[in-house]
Chains A and B, each alone.
Chain A
Amino acid sequence: EVRLVESGGGLAQPGGSLRLSCVASGFTFSSYTMNWVRQAPGKGLEWLSYITGTTGVINYADSVKGRFTISRDNAKSSVYLQMSSLTAEDAAVYYCARMNVIRGQAFDFWGQGTIVTVS
Chain B
Amino acid sequence: DVQMTQSPSTLSASIGDRVTITCRASQNINNWLAWYQQNPGKAPNLLIYKASSLESGVPSRFSGSGSGTEFTLTISSLQPDDFATYYCQKSNDDWTFGQGTKVEVK
Contact = CB atoms under 8 A, between A and B. Distances in A.
Chain A contact residues, majority secondary structure: strand
A106 interface: yes
Interface in B71-104: 87, 89, 91-92, 94-100
A47 B95 contact: yes
B32 A35 contact: no
B87 A44 contact: yes
A11 interface: no
Interface residues of B, number: 26
B34 interface: yes
A112 B97 CA distance: 19
Interface in B16-70: 31-32, 34, 36, 38, 43-46, 49-51, 53, 55
